[in-house]
Amino acid sequence: MRDPFRLDGKRALVTGANTGIGQAIAIGLAQAGAHVIAAGRSSCDETVAMMGGGEALMLELADPAAAAAVVAEHKTLDILVNNAGIIRREDSVDYSEADWDDVMDVNLKAVFMLSQSFAKSAMARGAGGRIVNIASLLSFQGGIRVPAYTATKHGVAGLTKALANEWARNGINVNAVAPGYIATNNTTALREDPKRSAEILSRIPAGRWGDPADIAGAVTFLCGAASGYVTGAVLNVDGGWLAR
């Protein structure tokens, strides 16, 4: 009997795979047997080396239409992981239209357009597939000084459910993972601030910062046969933060 957690023979594209959570996801999928295309706006050569194979792809999500066209060239993809995202911090009364548009393009518009491109190809081939979007705790909470990021991550959760509703009949499962506080470059300042780090840890029932591999495990599950009847879900991987 085939291991339902294996991805042998599958082709996956992971965006934002040059570092952090995206890199861990790419490595996790490769370890499960997938051929992984690690995509990012900067070099993903390190990720490919850590995977022990696969491909690196330069992909600029600030131009969602162009990025979707690149994805369309990879006609035999089985898995798409929309991980890439940006954040701009500013008081909402001073938040610029340019920052708003930049965050919307990368975090939400690109997610839709890449998913649409992936689905069109899968449907044309009569094949199913898996899409996993990376949401956030701010898909459920408001945050402070990150209005565009919060809006996009709420949007990612809603879009995940909308696409799942439409594409389930085509064998395309669409789910999302919402990471909690993960030890990456993006959280270095928080972790190095003793007061802020202690405040965060006191709220997390697991009592620790998450590891990027924690997210990779959840994504790998959602890409394999083990989750065949899971679609439209937003899986919180947060050490219990939202349950508190």
Which residues does residue 132 pair with via DSSP β-bridges, in sequence order? 81, 175
Q: Residue 95 corresponds to which tokens in the numbers above?
A: 């938040």
Q: Answer yes or no: are the C-beta atoms of 157 and 202 closer than 8 Å.
A: no
- The string of DSSP codes covering 33-95 is T-EEEEEESS--HHHHHHHTS-EEEE--TTSHHHHHHHHHH-TT--EEEE---------GGG-
One-letter identity of residue 106 = V
Q: Answer yes or no: are the C-beta atoms of 77 and 97 closer than 8 Å.
A: no
| List of residues 6+ apart from 93 with CB closer than 8 A | none
Catalytic sites, residue numbers: 149
Q: In what order do the strands lie in the sheet with 234-237?
A: 55-58, 35-40, 11-15, 79-82, 129-134, 172-179, 234-237
